[in-house]
Amino acid sequence: MSFLFTVLRQLGRNLRQTWGVQIMTLLTVALSVLIFSFSYLVYTNIVHFGDRLSENIRLIVYLDEEPGPELRKQLERKILQFDDVEEINFVSREQAYNRFKAQLGENAAVLDGMPKNFLSPSVEVVPLNTLTHLNRLKDFSDYLSKMGGIQKVQFGQNWVEKFNYTSQLITIIVIASGALLILTTIFIVAHTIRLTILGRHNELELLKLVGATNNYIRAPFLLEGLLQGLLGSSIGLGTLYALFLWVKIHFTTSGFMAIFDFTFLNPWGTVIIILSSILLCTIGSWVTMQRFVKVC
Amino acid sequence: MIEVIKVAKIYPPDINALHEISLTVSRGEMCFLTGKSGAGKTTLFKLICNMDQATSGLIEVDGQKMNLLRGRKLSQLRQKIGVAYQDFKLLPKRTAAENIAVSMEVSYKKPQIIRDRVCSLLDQLGLADKYNIPTGELSHGEQQRVTLARAVANFPTLILADEPTGNLDAVTTKRVMRLLSNCNKDGATILIATHDETIFRKSSHRVLEITNGRLKKMTGVPTVP
Ligand SMILES: Nc1ncnc2c1ncn2[C@@H]1O[C@H](COP(=O)(O)OP(=O)(O)OP(=O)(O)O)[C@@H](O)[C@H]1O
Ligand SMILES: [Mg+2]
């Protein structure tokens, strides 16, 4: 009880003495958390969006001839040589015709009088539904089109490429802002604590002389780092949430943005960001103390 | 309480502040350390309270070898040694009360107990009205008394007072000496470095004289109340 009281009082003195720097630090931590969690939020939403779209992605390989059982086996083997896939469906001329007819519905009458075999037979390849597999979609289609007896290979080429490019860019931004977060929190907090320590050099020396233990001297600084991490990340995430609500209310109720179904970071993500900010800030203050508060 | 055995201190490059000094101060004793300016009194104090390490020789305080103490053990011993530094080492922006409280806070005394003790000490030293004044705004003599109050506040078993009366008038000197005698009566071992003959001339306590880093003369015998 007395320990806690003493530590808190000491912390209060530190904060009062250097409040200007403390606020700057707090804002820096908050800003880096905001940048990081913002790009992470965009990332999770993009991945989520991509997941939903990629459920419908399939490569359609149009064949010259209706494949016999021999050829089917051969095609299957060749496809599997390149990559594992979710499933392979063979669509015969007749199946293609029936499907087309079903899609036309009421207008099916236009097909009357057409021969039932005017559509090419095809193989539908459903790739495994993960980003790395999707990233190789183009290679996959190139590979398939080089096999014998193939008319052409079709998939949402342009779209998939653009999507892949964007998601890679976002991944890079997430990683970069994560690194930025780590660096700023550790260095800024370390710097602030160093200023506090230098500003109170005489006092710390005196404390050692009158018999303060290492814990007595260090605990307030560790607590200061912890507080910076907690408040900074909460402010950052709070701002992000406000921003998120604002965007959601103003943009996604109408227009093309409505196709996005925005979701916020899940509770675990939030907790992890807060905890890691606290950890980083505490590490920052600990590192400084190792260097500037000589242990007796 | 204090065992100093053949202790020498050489400041770099080759300032020989102490030459193989040996002395013993028993538990509960009060004694005076005198000598010309630059004789080595402060140096000896610094070694005894572990602010500085001896070049050679051995110092034991309360049965513990000072050169081997580290960490928590050292902190605990330091809490039991109250030092009134010749250069005060006060925090000028903090009030007199806060400065005195520091030595009690490090051993987690309750705020109420600290406040009572601080008031009582300020009262005894004639500083009752300075409770809330930053020490930077106090006179030299007042600062000196605050320093002494900080040294004795936490009821240490050993008190080292370096020139506690250097800037004080006769009446205030008496107050200071009365406080130290009271601490001694309560069982504290006390070592006082001083130029001021008036405070030890008539006393029955032992007086040690240092000259040029050597223990020259001892008058009186160890007296333990
Ligand atoms: N940090 C230091 N570095 C170098 N020399 C020092 C240091 N401290 C003290 N000395 C030297 O050691 C000698 C003893 O100094 P000390 O402070 O112990 O004297 P003193 O007896 O306390 O003097 P005074 O009565 O003036 O306080 C002096 O010659 C001083 O110059
Ligand atoms: Mg001196």
pLDDT in tens, B48-87: 999 899 999 999 999 899 888 888 889 999 999 999 999 9
**Rounded to whole angstroms, how far apart are CA atoms A65 and B96?**
101
**Rounded to whole angstroms, how far apart are CA atoms A152 and A141?**
9
Nearest C-alpha in A relative to B76 = A211
Tell me which residue has its CA closest to atom 31 in ligand 1: B38
Inside any domain, residue A98: yes
The reported pLDDT for the residue numbered B162 is 94
| Ligand 1 proximity of B12 Cβ (cutoff 6 Å) | no
The answer to whether residues A44 and A112 belong to one domain is no
Domain B2-89+156-219 falls under CATH 3.40.50.720: no
Consecutive 10-residue averages of pLDDT for chain A (296 residues): 78 83 87 86 78 70 80 80 77 80 76 75 75 67 76 70 77 84 81 82 89 87 89 93 86 60 82 91 86 69
User: What's the domain range around A110?
Assistant: 58-155
Atom of ligand 1 nearest to the CA of B86: 27
The reported pLDDT for the residue numbered B113 is 93
CA of B29 to the centre of ligand 2 (A): 21
Provide the pairing of β-strand B56-61 with B64-65: antiparallel
pTM: 0.73
Look up the CATH number of the domain holding residue A81: 3.30.70.3040
The answer to whether residues A47 and A67 belong to one domain is no
**Rounded to whole angstroms, how far apart are CA atoms A259 and A252?**
8
The answer to whether residues A202 and A252 belong to one domain is yes
The answer to whether residues A106 and A230 belong to one domain is no
Which residue among B9, B15, B37, B55 has the greatest number of ligand 1 atoms within 8 angstroms of its CB, and so is best to mutate? B15
The reported pLDDT for the residue numbered A215 is 83
**Rounded to whole angstroms, how far apart are CA atoms B53 and A294?**
16
**The complex's ipTM?**
0.90
The answer to whether residues A186 and A285 belong to one domain is yes
Protein residues near ligand 2, an ion, with CB under 5 A: B 41-42, 86
The reported pLDDT for the residue numbered A89 is 80
**Residue B126 CB contacts under 8 Å (≥ 6 apart), including other chains:** B145, B172, B175
Among residues A155, A189, A223, the one where a domain terminates is A155
**Rounded to whole angstroms, how far apart are CA atoms A36 and A178?**
6
Inside any domain, residue A161: no
The answer to whether residues A183 and A39 belong to one domain is yes
Alpha helices in chain A (DSSP H): 2-17, 19-54, 69-82, 93-104, 131-135, 137-145, 157-199, 201-209, 214-251, 267-292
**Rounded to whole angstroms, how far apart are CA atoms B143 and B118?**
15
Collect the ranges in chain B with pLDDT lower than 50: none
The answer to whether residues A69 and A38 belong to one domain is no
Task: Choose the closest CB to A209 out of B78, B107, B109.
Answer: B78
The reported pLDDT for the residue numbered A255 is 56
**Rounded to whole angstroms, how far apart are CA atoms A231 and A189?**
13
Atom of ligand 1 nearest to the CA of B46: 18
**Rounded to whole angstroms, how far apart are CA atoms A14 and A182?**
24
The answer to whether residues A212 and A144 belong to one domain is no
In the structure encoding, which two tokens stand for residue B114, read together?
A: 């600290």
The answer to whether residues A81 and A99 belong to one domain is yes
The reported pLDDT for the residue numbered A244 is 87
Inside any domain, residue A162: no
The answer to whether residues A82 and A33 belong to one domain is no
| Ligand 1 proximity of B35 Cβ (cutoff 6 Å) | yes
**Tally of domains within chain A:** 2
The reported pLDDT for the residue numbered B68 is 86
The answer to whether residues A75 and A148 belong to one domain is yes
| Ligand 1 proximity of B39 Cβ (cutoff 6 Å) | yes
Task: Choose the closest CB to B75 out of A2, A203, A211.
Answer: A211
The reported pLDDT for the residue numbered A134 is 61
Contact B180, B21 (CB under 8 A): no
The answer to whether residues A16 and A64 belong to one domain is no
